[in-house]
Amino acid sequence: MTVSGYNTKQKDAIFACLKENASVHLTAEEVYAHLKMDGKSVGKSTVYRQLEALVADGTVKKYVSPDGKGACYQFASDACREHYHLKCSGCGALIHTGCSAIKAFADHFYQEHHFKLDMTKTVLYGLCEDCLQKGIKG
């Protein structure tokens, strides 16, 4: 495993944690908790700093909540470049979708407006089915 830039054991451990949990989105606190459970000696400030370094070099993706108060992180696999993300404003779930209607939407923007959407940074906000059933308002 090679992560670009200056590597440390802490950075490698954070990267490995995200790669092992590539199917989910973790907050910095959750990454910290995973590392602690695995017996890794990493401070919270190191986790935050190294997550930002991994985001900067493109190996990790960061999703910021609409209110700007929270963020989650995910290993940036090639598969993540092939789908869009739906973010539930109620429970915070981040859902992957390869929906053809969204692809058609992106194609429309490119063909009609000469604007290419970046699938790696495209997040649509709304409410998931569970939150809708619970009556949560967006």
Q: What is the pLDDT averaged over residues 2-14?
A: 71
Q: What is the pLDDT averaged over residues 108-120?
A: 89
- Taking the complete model, does pTM exceed 0.85, yes or no? no
Determine the Cα–Cα distance for residues 11 and 4; give it in Å rounded to an integer: 10
CATH topology of domain 78-138: Dna Ligase; domain 1 (3.30.1490)
What are the sequence ranges of the domains in the chain? 1-76, 78-138
CATH topology of domain 1-76: Arc Repressor Mutant, subunit A (1.10.10)
Q: What number of other Cβ atoms are within 10 A of residue 61's Cβ?
A: 20
- Segment holding 121, helix H or strand E: none
| pLDDT tens per residue, range 16-31 | 999 998 877 889 999 9
| pLDDT tens per residue, range 37-86 | 999 888 999 999 999 999 998 888 888 876 777 888 888 766 556 678 88
Closest CA to 25 of 68, 66, 77: 77
Whether residue 59 contacts residue 15, with contact meaning beta carbons closer than 8 Å, is answered with yes
